A and B are shown apart, each in its own frame.
Chain A
Amino acid sequence: AQTVTQSQPEMSVQEAETVTLSCTYDTSESDYYLFWYKQPPSRQMILVIRQEAYKQQNATENRFSVNFQKAAKSFSLKISDSQLGDAAMYFCAYRSEGSDRGSTLGRLYFGRGTQLTVWP
């Protein structure tokens, strides 16, 4: 089974600074998707950014970017120009990809999360 590890239970950053959240995963598959989700306190989980394993180019969404190292099975999230609204729990997630659409490859495997605090 796939496992996702987030080794930083908590991180903090000063407003306007940059922070990087780490994520590693274990898989024997060659094709898969990786996601970062954000879960603000008492609010629902929302997608921050996603990456396809077969794409070498790192995904970018405004202030959010990833450093995807397939060989190292690493998928870190960089938040630039941090804002107070970025404070949340961040989850890294893995999803298999396959040709069998009737299979259960759609499930997400989550890490335990990193709680990000943003200081003014």
Chain B
Amino acid sequence: DTGVSQNPRHKITKRGQNVTFRCDPISEHNRLYWYRQTLGQGPEFLTYFQNEAQLEKSRLLSDRFSAERPKGSFSTLEIQRTEQGDSAMYLCASSLEGGWETQYFGPGTRLLVL
């Protein structure tokens, strides 16, 4: 068990560019969550997968955002036509369905849009 990993750890991009982040959950975890954290705030829910199915998307997730989890393994979060307001830390978490379902977080990807 190597924990949740995220790549890249940091990303700087220019406004209008597309970016993609990757999350590798703990191997046996079937649930995967994406959160966004801005400075001085707690993480805010973006979207959630159970296996390969995306079960909910937050209102924060505009149509410029898309997430996938092919084959129920790793997940990607893509932001198209980035805006300065997208600058944030993007956190991924995974959990095993049942009981506590404690979410284990990755280190995050910090995005800066210039």
Which residues of A pack against B, CB within 8 Å? 4, 33, 35, 37, 43-47, 50, 91, 93, 95, 101-104, 106-113
Contacts and interface: CB of A to CB of B under 8 A. Distances in A.
A44 B42 contact: no
A104 B56 contact: yes
Interface of B: 4, 31, 33, 35, 40-45, 48, 50, 55-56, 91, 93, 95, 97, 100-108
A102 B50 CA distance: 8
A62 B8 CA distance: 35
Contacts, number: 57
26 contacts: A33-B101, A44-B4, A44-B107, A44-B108, A45-B43, A45-B91, A45-B105, A46-B105, A50-B100, A50-B102, A102-B55, A104-B48, A104-B56, A106-B48, A106-B95, A106-B101, A107-B33, A107-B45, A108-B33, A108-B43, A108-B45, A110-B42, A110-B44, A112-B42, A113-B40, A113-B42
Contacts of B97: 101
